[in-house]
Structure 1
Amino acid sequence: MKQLRKFLMLPVLLAGILLLTGCERPPIEAVQHGFRGTAMDLIYNPRILAEQAEKNTIPASAGLVPAEGPKAGQVYKNVKILNNLSVAQFTSFMVTMTSWVAPEQGCTYCHNAANFADDSLYTKNVARNMILMTQRVNTQWQDHVAQTGVTCYTCHRGNNIPQNVWFKDPAVQVGNGMLGNKNGQNTPVEGSGYSSLPKNTYAAYLLNDEKINVNGPTALPTGNKSSINETEATYGLMIHFSKSLGVNCTYCHNTRAVASWEESPPQRTKAWYAIRMARDINNNYMEPIQGLFPPHRLGPTGDVAKANCATCHQGAYKPLYGVSMLADYPFLTGPAKTTQKAPDAVPPAKSVAMK
């Protein structure tokens, strides 16, 4: 009888192990993020934080290079971007950018070694656009990146293509056998926390300007215009935010009034600008250069790789934990000139009371 019990316990133990593999093992720490009693706790795992800290260290820098001397555009041929830099600045930055984006391939990733002025490699033309995009983020989107800004390293981290990019999904076929239209559900992926929520909501919000809805202000049938599908897509996007920044919902929302802007932490306003910054990047800097890329660098529908929150954050609440690299590369930034403004309902971050 005892042997039979042991035999029966084995599958139970195995099932328990499989069930717990989806859980996060201890230790867990809670940090108060609002007034006491409001359940505004941020939940962290020190083990995961230690792993993230190692991934979010900045590389060594040669330091600020003198701007005096002959200009790169006067000395070198076919310099279309950063031609007003000194030769010292320009050459130093080219070496640095190579270490950020193509440490294995070196200069030949973007240049014809026999003729550096040649534009035949698509990567050179892409790099020009990416420098312009970086300058755009640092000058036009300070409501999100503040004075910290971004560089090529923020996203690339030594990879030719940032590790966290997205492509459009193939069109969902309406009618999926007996189950009907899946709407992207029940296909677990990391972006939606391996849940049953829609697996790719980026196109709706980070490329198109679709409304982020959950529920209406009044009951059906006239007030609640948000369908269950829209709600599920919104939750999928929120999980993406959470996974990308390594935080839980209380980082941007007050749990007692999730929809209220007036009672939200200032980070929610930052996220509002982040969504619009991602749209700007994807629509004005990535989509227009799709024709530059060879087929093997495009997605399943033939579209170019695009940015989402994880592209920069990579699991940290601030990319590289808020350490700015711009002091050594001032030409990647400039005077602030933000053109996008949050709606009146969104309080400025400085006016939101947080204790």
Structure 2
Amino acid sequence: MLPNWFNKWNRENPKDVFGPGILVGALGGAVFVAIMIVAWGQPYATDSLQTGPRGTGMSVPEFKAELAIPDPDIAELIEDEPYIPEAGDALAKDIYENVQVLGDVTEDNFNRVMAAMTRWVAPEEGCAYCHGDGDVETYGEDTLYTKVVARRMIQMTQNINENWDGHVNANKEVGVTCMTCHRGQNVPSDIWFKVTPVNASTAGWSSNQNRVTPLSQYSSLPSDALEKYLVDGEVIGVHSLESRSDEDITDPDVAGIQNAERTYALMNYVSNSLGVNCVFCHNTRAFYDPEQVTPQWGTESLGIGMVQEMNTEYLIPLGDTYPENRLGPLHGDAPKAACKTCHKGYQQPLQGTNVIQYWPELATTGTPVYE
């Protein structure tokens, strides 16, 4: 029953039967794996997004299996057509008390937006999360901090959609709503607080790095990059490429070695936030040259400016409004946003789904446009 070569080999080597058995098993296993790959597909097959000239390595590879899986939060999006206002419709500010935003929206659309915000931010607590457990007559009171914060967040959302169109609608209409960050949670995931110094036994520059933290993306890079670049607005860049530069590194507009390390920390954070690599924005042959970047670099630059404004104009000023349990554990600072707060690991939040189309009330600081 066995092949002649095997019988001959077995006679000449009567004590060693493992060699051919292993060989036959390995060959059989390889054939089985090949059959499974042909039948079920390559589980680690990749697709590449080309971001530059061929042959330069400028591509962003992604697993096809992951590309085929939609962001699970997309299923939670609300599709609710707005009511087209008609002459004589009552406005929210004329019906309810203390309506400081969305007051010029009709009552029906106002209630529609409020119901959506409840599902986006507090699906379990309901209206009571911002208005308390009292009667409807008490909804105009600003007793709870959550209502004060929510009002400011509506203004921030309107500002983003109206004034940062180049970032949130770079390729097509996408926009942002409360759902973009909150995803059904009271507090969005991937917010951040100050964590430096991370080395209590050192001072100065050494106290900012060489400790694994979420802000350093679990690397030895500095942990204060988000603070310096997305709040303080310091220069993002690497040190001079000349070996003996006469640049004054004490000048805040000149990048030194420390700025270079922080820049690497920020870029590492951005890459992980969007699920991409460096060449998504930069040219591999000249990372330092702003004239050889990809179009995505411009979109990202607008995003950095947008986040700086979000933090300094909207989020940080709310520090005195929050209770202690909502503030940072080390410095008592207000929660802040960054790229991952919205993107959650995708190139576009919610994989580029148009989230603003049903919510014109959140698309502008002025009068909503209903189509």
Residue 227 of structure 1 and its aligned partner are, at CA, apart by 3.5
Change over 3 Å in CA distance of 1:26–1:227 after alignment to 2? farther
Bigger radius of gyration: 2
- TM-score, with length taken from structure 2: 0.77
Q: Deviations over 1:30-84 (max 9, x none)?
A: 3332221121111212344455633455513222233332111111122111011
Which residue in the other structure is 1:187 paired with?
211
1:53 and 2:82 equivalent? no
CA contact 1:29–1:45 (8 Å) conserved in 2: yes
- TM-score, with length taken from structure 1: 0.81
1:121 and 2:144 equivalent? yes
How many residue pairs get matched? 310
Which residue in the other structure is 1:72 paired with?
92
Secondary structure of 2:49 counterpart: strand
Residue 203 of structure 1 and its aligned partner are, at CA, apart by 0.7
1:104 and 2:124 equivalent? yes
Q: Residue 250 of structure 1 is aligned with which of 264, 267, 279? A: 279
CA contact 1:185–1:197 (8 Å) conserved in 2: yes
1:157-306 mapped onto 2 (5 Å cutoff) = 157-171=183-197, 176=202, 182-223=206-247, 225=249, 226-299=255-328, 300-306=330-336
Which residue in the other structure is 1:331 paired with?
361
CA contact 2:196–2:224 (8 Å) conserved in 1: no
CA distance in 2, matches of 1:269, 1:70: 43
Which residue in the other structure is 2:48 paired with?
30
Q: Residue 43 of structure 1 is aligned with which of 41, 44, 61? A: 61
- Relative to structure 2, which stretch is displaced further, 147-156 or 276-285? 147-156
Secondary structure of 1:110 counterpart: helix
1:93 partner letter: V
CA distance in 2, matches of 1:181, 1:33: 36
Residue 319 of structure 1 and its aligned partner are, at CA, apart by 1.0
1:79 partner letter: V
Which residue in the other structure is 1:339 paired with?
none
Residue 257 of structure 1 and its aligned partner are, at CA, apart by 1.2
CA contact 2:197–2:208 (8 Å) conserved in 1: no
Structure with the bigger RCO (C-alpha within 8 Å, sep 6+) is 1
- Relative to structure 2, which stretch is displaced further, 290-299 or 228-237? 228-237
CA distance in 1, matches of 2:61, 2:223: 24
What percentage of aligned pairs have identical amino acids?
38
CA distance in 2, matches of 1:30, 1:207: 34
Change over 3 Å in CA distance of 1:51–1:295 after alignment to 2? farther
Secondary structure of 2:357 counterpart: helix
Structure 2 residue runs of 5 or longer lacking an equivalent are 1-42, 250-254, 367-371
CA distance in 1, matches of 2:340, 2:360: 25
1:2-17 mapped onto 2 (5 Å cutoff) = none
Which residue in the other structure is 1:315 paired with?
345
CA distance in 2, matches of 1:87, 1:65: 10
